Amino acid sequence: MFKNVIVKTPCKAVTQGITSAPELGQPDYSLALKQHAAYIEALKQCGVSVTVLPADESFPDSCFVEDVAVITPKCAIVTNPGAATRNQETKAIVPVLKQFFPEDKIEYITAPGTLEGGDVMMVGTHFYVGRSARTNEEGIKQFIAILEKHGLTGSEVPLTEVLHLKTGVNYIENNNMLVAGEFITKAEFAQYNKIVIPQSESYAANCIWVNGTVIVPCGYPTVEKAVKDAGYPVILVDTSEFRKIDGGLSCLSLRF
Ligand code: GLY
């Protein structure tokens, strides 16, 4: 169960966030703020305490706070984002993590290693790590060594088609995994009960499990039905403005 969630308010510069889909247009800032507020309300409905960090205009993508740290049951790991414009976002998360963890439970990925939290999927005490354009071999090596130091395990999952691992695969507990695109047939996930997402709704592979409820993005009826059919209560949250800059539900929070 999660007790805490950290989110970061979108800054005005969110309109300039990195995107692989410029055809969707720039995010509407005021709508992004409203959607972010609704996201916080959905999280609160799931019984977590939400820490809301202030917007930081220096970093357009900084609302995607998941990428700057990975929080495990045993320790917090400050990442080293592979995106140049995001790399220094980690500085602001360190003092926040110190409010929750003693210094000996805060670890760091360092150069030449790179790693972004969107590439890390927790399944119990095991962590799958996507080797992506943002997360490199050295970052994964450091990350797995940190996990093992704390009695946890990790393994690499290569990916080629999407930004982050969790862009296309998300674990929603009870052995259930939402899979889209290149992750549908990966041997690494053969042991799970796969909920296969059609290409037309692949964005909605990025749902989050929070204390028994699954938060699903608005506008993806096949995924909404599949998650309900799997037995979960669902809360819908509109993330249209974050989708325009390759962001989804998991990217917007750290849950622990
Ligand atoms: N725009 C989100 C990211 O590229 O990290």
Query: In angstroms, what is the span from residue 10 Cα to ligand 1's centroid?
Result: 13
Ligand 1 atom closest to Cα of residue 116: 5
Q: What is the pLDDT of residues 47-95, one digit of tens each?
A: 999 999 999 999 999 999 999 999 999 999 999 999 999 999 999 999 9
3-class secondary structure, 90? helix
Percent of the chain with pLDDT over 90: 100
Ligand 1 atom closest to Cα of residue 18: 1
Ligand 1 atom closest to Cα of residue 163: 4
- Residue 96: what pLDDT? 98
Query: In angstroms, what is the span from residue 191 Cα to ligand 1's centroid?
Result: 30
Asked if residues 50 and 5 have their Cβ atoms less than 8 Å apart, the reply is yes
- Residue 182: what pLDDT? 98
| DSSP secondary structure code for residue 113 in this structure | -
Ligand 1 atom closest to Cα of residue 19: 1
Atom 3 (ligand 1): residue with closest C-alpha? 18
- Residue 154: what pLDDT? 98
Query: In angstroms, what is the span from residue 122 Cα to ligand 1's centroid?
Result: 20
- Active-site amino acid positions: 164, 251
Give the number of other CB atoms < 10 A from CB of residue 178: 27
Q: What is the pLDDT of residues 9-22, one digit of tens each?
A: 999 999 999 999 99
Substitution site in 16, 64, 66 for ligand 1 pocket (most atoms within 8 Å of beta carbon): 64
DSSP 84-142: GGGGGGHHHHHHHHTTTS-GGGEEE--TT--B-GGGEEEETTEEEEEE-SSS-HHHHHH
- Residue 237: what pLDDT? 98
Percent of the chain with pLDDT over 70: 100
Mean pLDDT value across residues 30-51: 98
- Please state, rounded to an integer, the average pLDDT across all residues of the chain: 98
Provide the total of helices (H) and of strands (E) in the chain, helices listed first.
Answer: 6, 15
What does each C-alpha distance from 221 to 29, 192, 231 come to in angstroms? Answer: 26, 23, 16
- Residue 86: what pLDDT? 98
Label residue 225 by pLDDT band (50, 70, 90).
very high
d(CA 44, CA 38): 10
Mean pLDDT value across residues 114-126: 98
Atom 1 (ligand 1): residue with closest C-alpha? 18
Mean pLDDT value across residues 165-177: 98
Residues with CB under 6 A from ligand 1: 17-18, 61, 64, 67, 83, 86, 245-247
Q: What is the pLDDT of residues 132-164, one digit of tens each?
A: 999 999 999 999 999 999 999 999 999 999 999
- Residue 73: what pLDDT? 97
- Residue 3: what pLDDT? 98
Is the pTM above the cut of 0.95?
A: yes
Q: What tokens appear for 218 in the block?
A: 């608005």
